[in-house]
Structures are given as structure tokens and as C-alpha cells.
Amino acid sequence: MIGRARVVAASLAAAVALLVTLCPAAAHHVGTYVPKDNEITTNFKQIKFSVEAGKFAVARRLFDTGPLQTDMRARAARLPAGLEAGLRAALEGGDGAEVERGLTIFFAALARDLAREATRQTADPTLSREACAAIGARFLEAIWRYYNLVDFAVARRDDRTSVVIRLAFDEATGYAKSIAAPDKLREPLTRIAQALSAFIDASTPARRGS
């Protein structure tokens, strides 16, 4: 019995050592990898936490003076009409659910546009496999930087979309790590863009008179 216990203990130690060794790579799997914040994601968190604390006046000031609004205005042509005005109205009215909806649509659109651009760039026939894989990996990190902030909100509204995006992201990440198959990146990237586009359309109220 003592000998068997020693074998079991040794096996457990080896498993722990293996997990520690694999930790850096495993951290990139969906659900565990959290990219570093940039000024837009930092501003998002400031607004979100202020809203959750019921400090809507603070949240509006953070929105009106922050880089998130600046970026939203720069992308206005690719966003649902009235998104900025609707978000500001929700902040003024203390409507937390509507603030969340507006922010979720915006970050879903950021991730969608990145997925589309990644699909376009990785289709360049002059790129080497190494270059294609590197571009794909860089875009995937950027996509997840924005999407991971709103995945919970997406899942609450449409769990199927959340699952589709996560599976496609994992698939694309695997192709980006495989120099032998970077050309397969475009298919899951296209699925991500299509799923996000459909989610945005479904989450945007129909305009009167349309």
C-alpha cells in the first residue's frame, strides 16, 4: 500500500508539473486569457463600474470625456444609427440595462470589424505562411481584447451566438499557431464576423418609419 501511495503521489506531482509547464500556452484558451487593457477598454471598465455603483453622473462624465466616445464617433458610419445618442440618453436617465446594451453593441462591432479586416489581410496571396499566422494571431488577440468584455452580456441575450464565437475563436487560434494551416484562418474569422453582425442587428431596435 505504501508503494502504491508513493506511485500515486509521484503521478500527481508529475501532472502538476506538466500543468505548470503548459500554463503560458493554456492561458490563451478562450475563457482564461485576458489581454492587457488599452485606453478604450480601461474607459469601458470605468463606465461599467460607475453604472454598477449607481453613479450615473460619473459614468456620463467618463463617457463624455473618454476615448471610448471618441472612437465611437470615429466609427459612426459602421455602427447602428443613434448608438452614441442612445447611450448618452441611457446614462442621463439612469438606465443601466440600456447602457449595457449600447456598450455591448459597440464592443461587438469593434470585434466584428477586426475579424473582417483579419479575413481580408490573411487572404493576401503574397504572404508567407509564417506572416499569415502572425497577422492572424495579432488580430485574434485584438478581437478578444474587446469581445471578452461583453461575452457575458452577449450570452445572456443570445447564448448560441456566444458559443459560436467562442468555438470559432478557439478554432482560429489553433490555425494561427499552426504554420502548416494558416490559410484555414479565414473560415472561423468569417463565422465570428457574421455571428457578431447578426447579434448587432438583432440587438438594435428597429427605427421608426423604417
**pLDDT (tens digit, 9 = 90+) per residue, 108-163?**
999 999 999 999 999 999 999 899 999 999 999 999 999 999 999 999 999 999 99
Q: What secondary structure, in 3-state letters, does 78-110 show?
A: HCCCCHHHHHHHHHHHCCHHHHHHHHHHHHHHH
| 117 neighbors 109 (Cβ within 8 angstroms) | no
Task: List pLDDT tens digits, range 51-63.
Answer: 999 999 999 999 9
157: its cell numbers: 441575450
* Predicted local distance difference test score (pLDDT) of residue 178: 81
Task: List pLDDT tens digits, range 84-99.
Answer: 999 999 999 999 999 9
Q: CA-CA distance, 143 to 126, in Å (whole number)?
A: 24
**Residue for grid cell 471618441:** 70
* Predicted local distance difference test score (pLDDT) of residue 6: 43
